């Protein structure tokens, strides 16, 4: 099973509270709120605490988590945040976070770009070990 398939499965099966908790811890409330199109970053904290459900934002939350799952296998939280906010050559030099916020159908392209980035990290690490 490919990393993107594993990420899709995990994002589908994981409870939204757990997703919100993990994303809040790794990415921060502001970035999660922005990616999901929510005005109040505090809403992310309420989702993580189980006080509210991410009514219109649940799919966006799961899409962000899908990308996060692909990247967390090889990258730390700081790198993931930078990757989400930085211009990406595979996405017409736009930031992945913009794609996730504007068009939930773009999650496949963003997840594929994340997998390529993660794969390059593994390849770079293997090259260093072999040297």
**Nearest residue to 99 via CA among 78, 113, 82, 116:** 113
State whether the Cα torsion 72-76-78-79 is positive or negative: negative
Number of domains in the chain: 1
pLDDT of 49-63, one tens digit each? 999 988 889 999 999
Confidence of residue 3 (pLDDT cuts 50, 70, 90): confident
Range of the structural domain that residue 109 is part of: 3-130
Tokens 């999650």 sit on residue: 107
- Does residue 126 carry a pLDDT above 80? no
As a whole number, mean pLDDT of residues 23-31 equals 97
**Tens digits of residue pLDDT in 81-114:** 999 999 999 999 999 999 999 987 789 999 999 9
- Spatial separation of the C-alpha atoms in residues 54 and 39, rounded to whole Å: 12
Instruction: Tell me what pLDDT residue 105 has.
Output: 79
């Amino acid at each position: 099973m490919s990393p993107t398939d594993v990420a899709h499965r995990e994002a589908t099966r994981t409870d939204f509270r757990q997703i919100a908790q993990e994303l809040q811890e790794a990415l921060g409330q502001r970035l999660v709120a922005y990616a999901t199109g929510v005005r109040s970053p505090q809403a992310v904290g309420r989702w993580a605490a189980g006080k509210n459900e991410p009514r219109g934002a649940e799919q966006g939350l799961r899409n962000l988590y899908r990308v996060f799952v692909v990247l967390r296998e090889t990258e730390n939280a700081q790198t993931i945040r930078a990757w989400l906010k930085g211009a990406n050559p595979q996405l017409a030099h736009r930031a992945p976070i913009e794609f996730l916020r504007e068009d939930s159908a773009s999650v496949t392209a963003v997840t594929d770009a994340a997998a390529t980035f993660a794969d390059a990290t593994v390849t770079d690490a293997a090259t260093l070990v072999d040297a």
